[in-house]
Each structure stands twice: as structure tokens, then as C-alpha cells.
Amino acid sequence: MGNAAGTGIRKSGDVDPNARQTVQLDDVITTVVMARVTDYFGFFVFAIASALVFPTIFFPYLEPVPATLASFAVFSLAFLARPVASLIGRRLEPRIGKPGKITVALMLLGTSTVAIGLLPGYDRIGWVAPALLAVLRVIQGLGLGGAWDGMTLQLKSAAPKERDGLYSMVPQLGGPIGFCVAAAMFYVLTGFLTEEEFYQYGWRFAFFAVMAVNVVSLFARLRLLTTNFGSDEATMMKSAPLGFLLRTQWREILLSAFLPLSSYALLHMLTVFPVSYTLLFTDNAIDRIILWQLVGGALAVGTVILSGLLADRYSKRAVIIGSSVLTLLLCLSIGTLNDNPAVYIVAGFIIFGLSYGQSSAIVPDRFSPDCRYSGSALATNLSWIFGAAFAPLVGLFLASTFGLWAAALYLVSGVVVTLVALFSLRRQSDKI
């Protein structure tokens, strides 16, 4: 990746003693990926546990399907809390600065995650256990929402115009890599511990590990926030007044929130849904499912990178349309989860990488520079609510009530919404 003129990010050998802190672009890319991987690692630790652990530990008084649905309902709470955290962060940031806000947010996220790992189950404290789990999940959501740092905006500002797609996919690498790290941990824990050992204490180690990586994430983010990205950084990273933002940018916010819907829904229908469906409705070994997910996640890293190359050669719009069409074809294979799950899982991850690689990159360009930071944050939080928060819950409910074909139709609906939003934005602007 080349250097962008005027970004303040220097190549090796350049010296700028007057810069606030100027680093090589390779260091910035490494920092962005590191921060995103740690974010997604913690995210998927909870997500996998929602399917694999929590129904047994916190909802044993329910039948297996309702218990898993209750667990997925708790999972969704963090997404609902994220916009609230963004509003709190708008008030907090002027007082303690962006580094201070992110430090507080990540400490909230880390401590609540460790607390979940220490939380007694229903067999010890009764209904208080799932209630505390829900409270801690909300606190996690406040931490996730408050940790919004605009890293995608910063990296895009450093990208040469002809390499914008390639630079934009860099933060997205955190998704499949973070999932692979979390899934690998559960693969080891379920493979080397007995079932009793795993449910008694083994699963808790994954949550303790999240706190450790959160420390890494904190330093990575603080390093990035002190990086000089150019003379327009002050405008790009400034929060716009909320009233002005909603009054002037409401249409762009809503349409931008719907753009990644297909990608976010597919993410959960590949990571969380197959685990729950396998445990509840098939005789397939769960370690085999996780192994195929690891294979798919590794391939998705490659297709995320490929999405950047294709976006630069053609356009982000073409990549999203192409991946949406492939997602529709993938829905035809969802029935293989019963007998040959590798087909749906591996193919799905390959398609997911293409879709996810440009799903966030297309959002910031919809906003004027003075609204870009706040508009992107609000659109992103809404995207996670619409496309991800309830995907495991809805997918499992439909599959358990009507069959896998109904879960496939849910994924189809996400694709349709994405394509409609893309077409609507295309009519307004030729920037995509």
C-alpha cells in the first residue's frame, strides 16, 4: 500500500520533528488490525457462549430451544445499548477527551466481561444469575458503543484515491481473524476438557482472556488517536451537534444503516446460528462444526482482501451487489447443515469476506465532512441493531418453528434491504 500525499503519515526515512506523532503507514495498518481483532475476539467469545454455554448454565429451567432463544435475547441487549453509549460519549468526550472516553469504555467492556466469567450459574443463585448476565451484557454494550473511535475514517483519509477499497478493507480483517481466535479457543476447550469440566469452569477462561486482549486494544487505540492523519483531521473526527445531524442527515443515516444489513446478518447466520442449530437439531459433533468455521474464517480473511482489490478495480457498489447475489445463492444450500454442514459454512464464509470487506467502507462517503464522524457512528450502531442484534434469535426461531428454509428467507430479506438501500443511495450520489 502506498503513501497518501499530505496525510502526515511518512514513509521510512522521512523525518518530521514538528508533527504531533507521525508514524509509518505500515504501523498504522498494524495498529488498526490489532485493535479490531481484539474487539471481535471479545464479541465472538460472548456470541459463541450464547449458543454453546449459557442455555445450560443460566437457563436450565427451560427446554433446550426456549433456553437458547432466551440466551440469544440477552445477546441482543448489547446492541440496543450501543446508541445510548454513543449519546453518553458525546457528553463525556468534551470533558475528558477522546482517549479518556475510549479508556473508560474499554475498562467498562473488560470488567463486565470478566464479571461474566466469574458469574455463578442458575444452580447456585437461581433467577439472579440470568438477571445479572443481562445487566452485564448491557454494560458490555455501553463499552462497545463508547469505544467508537472512527478508525475507518482515519485510515480512509490516508488512502490514495486509487487504493481506497484496499485501505478500507483493513479494519474489516478484524472480523474473521477475531472470530477464528475465539472459535479456536472454544475448539481447544471443548476438545481437551470433559463436558463436565467445560461447563463447570472451562468456558470461563475465554472470558478472562478477553480482559487481557482489551489491554492490548486500549494501547492500540490510544496509539492511533495520537497519530497525525492530516490537516483535515480536526474536521473529520469532530462530533456534529446531534440536532443538526438528525435534521440534515437523517436520510443518509437510515440508508447507510441498511447498507451492511446483508453482511451483518450473514455474519451471525454463519458463526452463532450453526452452533445452536447443530446442538439442538442434529447429531453432528460440535467440534466438527467449529473446525469447519475455522477453515471458513481463514478463507474469509483472503476474500476480505480480495474485496479491496475488486473494489479498486471496479467499485464498492459492484462488490456489494456481487456478494449479495452470491448470498442469495448460498441460501439454497442452508439445508446442508443437517448432513453436510461444511458446504454451507465454508462457502458462506468465502462469500461473507467479499461482502463484509466493503460493508463499512461505503458508509462514510455518504456524509459531509463535518458530519462524517457522528453520522458514521450513528449509522453503524443502527446497522448492528437492524442486521445483527436479533439475527441468531430470529434465525433459530424460524428454523425451529418452520424449518431451515424459513431461516434462509430471513437472510434473503437482509439481502433485499441492502440492495434497496444501495439503489436508493445510488440515485442520490455517484460516489459509490
Domain annotation covers residue 386: yes
Span 79-106, pLDDT tens digits: 999 888 888 888 888 888 888 888 888 8
Confidence of residue 308 (pLDDT cuts 50, 70, 90): very high
What range defines the domain where residue 236 resides? 25-428
Domain annotation covers residue 161: yes
Tally of domains within the chain: 1
pLDDT at 229 over 60: no
Domain annotation covers residue 271: yes
User: CATH number of the domain that 186 lies in?
Assistant: 1.20.1250.20
- The pLDDT score that the predictor gives to residue 144 is 85
CA distance linking residue 414 with residue 324, whole number of Å: 9
Domain annotation covers residue 186: yes
> Which range, 84-93, 163-172, 240-249, 299-308, has the best average confidence (pLDDT)?
299-308
Cα torsion at 96, 98, 100, 104 (round to 10°)? 120
Q: What is the arithmetic mean of pLDDT over 274-295?
A: 95
pTM of the model: 0.89
- DSSP-derived secondary structure for 264-328: HHHHHHHHTHHHHHHHHH----HHHHHHHHHHHHHHHHHHHHHHHHHHHHS-HHHHHHHHHHHHH
CB 113 within 8 A of CB 211: yes
- The pLDDT score that the predictor gives to residue 321 is 94
Span 345-385, pLDDT tens digits: 999 999 999 999 988 777 776 777 778 878 888 888 888 89
